[in-house]
Amino acid sequence: GAVVSQHPSRVICKSGTSVKIECRSLDFQATTMFWYRQFPKQSLMLMATSNEGSKATYEQGVEKDKFLINHASLTLSTLTVTSAHPEDSSFYICSASLSETQYFGPGTRLLVL
Amino acid sequence: AQSVTQLDSHVSVSEGTPVLLRCNYSSSYSPSLFWYVQHPNKGLQLLLKYTSAATLVKGINGFEAEFKKSETSFHLTKPSAHMSDAAEYFCVVSYLTGTASKLTFGTGTRLQVTL
């Protein structure tokens, strides 16, 4: 139980384009999902908290117009990286909350050329 | 404020020998603590969690951790390492903000298992 999926697992895009990443809780409903970013050999950095039916809450220093989050249903949250640039290249990981425990997706590696 | 300190960035053990990954926490109230494991280019898998029940917590794959309030520690142990245990391990503390429980991550400990 408590399985979270992400799609795509890997994406390469050109600078200036937008990329959408999906996060789904497969066997449970999640009112709250989270988006993290992880740089090589570093820990996870929380970007934002995604709340079903309301606006996302962004951490300090994260541009909400750059990283658009939509929590369309209790099983789906999406992160759109708008006008991506090479510095946005990273490993993006989502999690879904169930009984005060976060279950993580497998991550999406984004490479912006 | 909540924080966790993982005392070792890298630990190397021989297969079949015990594993000890150290973690100290700081929390202004009774914390919820977790250990997650991350294999290369993968997401995080929950190993175990402590939420103010038994202080000795058993997790998956033979791992366990003991919550010691007097020492503010939550060290992860396993009696006998296996090659498949080689990965990055994160000690994590949970804190409530508004209606959501957020996580603060340690910097991680890379476990290497040698033959």
Q: Does A103 touch chain B (CB under 8 A)?
A: yes
d(CA B115, CA B113): 7
Angle at B77 between CA B18 and CA B101, to 5 degrees: 160
Q: Which is it for strands B10-14 and B44-50: parallel, antiparallel or unpaired?
A: unpaired
- What's the pLDDT band for A16 if we cut at 50, 70, 90? very high
From chain A residues 13-72, the ones with a CB under 8 A of any chain B CB are: 32, 34, 42-44, 46, 49, 51, 57
Q: Tell me how far apart the alpha carbons of residues B38 and A100 are, in angstroms, rounded to a whole number.
A: 20
Q: In whole angstroms, what is the distance from residue A46 CA to residue A40 CA?
A: 15
Using alpha carbons only, give the angle B35, B57, B101 rounded to the nearest 5 degrees. 50
Residues of chain B with pLDDT under 50: none
CB A49 within 8 A of CB A56: yes
Interface of B with A in 62-101 (CB under 8 A): 90, 94, 98-101
Which whole number is the average pLDDT over A53-73? 92
User: The tokens of A60 are what?
Assistant: 């300090």
The predicted pLDDT at position B54 comes to 85
Cβ A18 vs Cβ A81: under 8 Å: yes
**A51 pLDDT higher than 90:** no
Preferred mutation among B2, B29, B41, B44 to probe A, highest tally of A CBs within 10 A: B44
**For residue A51, is it left (φ>0), alpha (ψ between -120 and 50) or beta?**
beta
**CB-closest option in B32, B42, B106 to A107:** B42
> Who among A6, A32, A43 is closest to B90 (CB)?
A43
Q: Is the model's pLDDT at A91 over the cut of 80?
A: yes
Say which residue the tokens 């190397």 belong to: B12
Residues of B in Cβ contact (< 8 Å) with A103: 46
Predicted confidence at residue B31, as pLDDT, reads: 84
Contact B103 A6 (CB under 8 A): no
Contact at CB, B41 and A49, closer than 8 angstroms: no
pLDDT of the residue at B99: 66
The beta-carbon neighbor of B43 closest among A34, A43, A104 is A104
Structure tokens at B89: 């391990």
